[in-house]
Chains A and B, each alone.
Chain A
């Protein structure tokens, strides 16, 4: 052993030195006083261009870094308030919207904000025709007419012309969507890339799309400094912001996927806010005196859908039976405790026309009766595609067990989110459990997807949720949904959506289970941190430490 003693001594000394080095560092990490660090699953971000982005995390970043003409009133989501727009009027025929801009506005770059920038923002979104462009093009805008239909009358006046006399609340709600964010025309034009026109894309430049994927040309409370996919988003205060200046100089979103990891980091002081907590971690955090929690209902509903291509699932009695086979109470008190509320209609709470009715209860006897009526008294076997993530996995397992009590054998096919979605969009599933968030804050968003399916063939162009589940929606339902868009009287419009929800609740092949409550755990030192009513209203501007 003597031969080794010298070497072992060296090794031990080395190890001791390493330990000393570790011990020398501060035991608990603390984020800097002027910086907010959020742990957030941001792996859905694929672009930062507001004309292209359509993901939940991007929407949050965009709404903090870009301004819109109008925004949702956070105190009353049925109202709209001006952002860059000071005031607006709607013409008597309901076709022309005229916006007067606030004066002396500036982009983060220092360039002045004019109606020309607003017109350019609309033009580029429509001409690029990326995922969220339909929110604007549904008003009759196209690449050929956009410069005429969305134009600057003078430096401070923007005029927007729609093709039908839609309900003004619908038009204005759509303009609060991130696709209508106002970009800095001068700055974007400095970064356009040349494109060879083709049949699919008729323009000779990319309207700065390649640059804006990771670049920034806005005027929001914060500027976007950097986005690294699946790693980090860094925002910095915009000193040219027209509203109240943010107290913090920097906001960092760190990509963290797991609830437990976020909890650990929050407890250790490595992050200030944990955004994706599951019930267990949320409960632990609420018991910690240094930490606090907050919650807000979000416009996302979780549902199980039954593909009508499956002949068993296409029987109306089976559809109804399945609605009785979900143990809503058990799910509500355990799996989604604190992160959701039982909700069986397609419009989430807080949206115009929302119907707060949960008529279905877990009832095996009733379900068995219905199954017998459908000629399936002995039950049958069916599969369900389930994304490997909570709470859907837990709900799927609970459903598997309760279906079993009525003799229906449910086989769960687990998969990655993109995998299950690929199958769902190709209509090759039997059943699917998923979430649906509104594309924009207006009842039409969900109404359209749950009640409109003009072409139920595999080639159908309008791939709504009704189409994905091969539900040949009764014509009167679709017609009512379309008519609600043109109803100018808000109260009447709300009633129309209520009746639509009743119909889907009764007949639709969707077992809607709950509405998501967004939760966050945060350091008790934070001030003025609030979650907004929609995914793009979680503002970081007011927060201080």
Chain B
């Protein structure tokens, strides 16, 4: 049976469109379920933690009648399901309320602290990928050698040692002992009032404004926390790179390339890594998302004024509006990065498009 070429093309387009539609529908379902799950978990954590939220609003020493009044104002005397309903309603309308801790609208707070987390995680991921990928390639190419063993041990340590413990050790050594890095925080007080960030990413801002001393100061603040995060993601990235590379290096096209007389450098960096790069994109993206949400401990140890520290503080104070806002933002970023890396994967690897 002969089918005209045009209709064949149209059929393929239709199939692809259908593929995209189902993909998007799937994403939507995942998103809605994830959000509802997040909201429910945040709400119930807020009700289960043994801290009276009125304490967060009033402090330790408010007289009884003031406590009663505020409890009523906060709606805490309503039945739980009614509170949950209002909670969902407010969250869905994008209204995360006011943080009792900072007295600002939660969204304004997040806008202020989130760039710090993004900057930290980005530098961390850059360090992790720029070091992790070559190490993984090295381990794969020199499989079984001492270099391979070293890379694997380095990765294992990064993976298994608690990051806050490493952070404390590093802080003691590089800050207290050697004085190489700056005091925990994001920028020295000296610059805090002479430097006006524009984008919120201090490294970029200081370079852009040509403030070299500020850049050095910011660098001295970020290098250790980002380096530790980088080490953490390096462990994962190098291990995955190694396994992807091993897979590629065993493929027939590598044998063919060698037979053609291509140089090893070209075979490894030009062919094998290029193909391994497709799944690696997902690995790096996921590791990035992981750092965005997982930098809580590092932010706490290094007093890094980012989202992780913000959520930790809020949770300790039963500041549930802030916890909700922060959780939703992190959840959204996680979902977005997942979707993006999935789409990127499809774009880069045509085989995954039609099933």
Contact = CB atoms under 8 A, between A and B. Distances in A.
B101 A230 contact: yes
Given A1-B142, A46-B59, 4 more contacts: A22-B180, A37-B189, A230-B309, A418-B55
B64 A461 contact: yes
A202 interface: no
Most A CB within 10 A of own CB, among B59, B72, B190, B216: B59
Contacts of B159: none
B355 interface: no
Interface residues of B, number: 61
B181 A22 contact: yes
A418 B318 contact: yes
Interface stretch (A127-135, A139-147, A237-245, A320-328): A127-135
Interface residues of A, number: 64
Given A55-B60, A134-B63, A419-B51, A270 B183 contact: yes
B134 A439 contact: no
Interface stretch (A167-175, A295-303, A402-410, A421-429): A421-429
Interface in A106-153: 129-131, 133-134
B141 to A, nearest CB: 7
A463 B67 CA distance: 10
Contact of B183 (A4, A29, A46, A129): A29
Contact of A418 (B99, B182, B219, B317): B317
Contacts of B65: 461
Contacts of A22: 180-181, 219-220, 223
B176 interface: yes
A214 interface: yes
Contacts of B193: 234
Nearest to B216: A25
Interface stretch (A73-81, A83-91, A182-190, A261-269): A261-269
Nearest to A434: B60
B55 A7 contact: no
Contacts of A419: 49-51
Contacts of B196: none
A325 B61 CA distance: 29
B59 A55 contact: yes
Contacts of A439: 61
Given A3-B265, A29-B188, A461-B65, A229 B102 contact: yes
B328 interface: no
Given A22-B220, A46-B101, A231-B305, A4 B138 contact: yes
A505 B217 CA distance: 56
Interface in A8-32: 8, 11, 18, 21-25, 27-29, 31-32
B115 to A, nearest CB: 15
A512 interface: no
A5 to B, nearest CB: 11
B134 A7 contact: yes
Contacts of A400: none
B93 interface: no
B313 A230 contact: yes
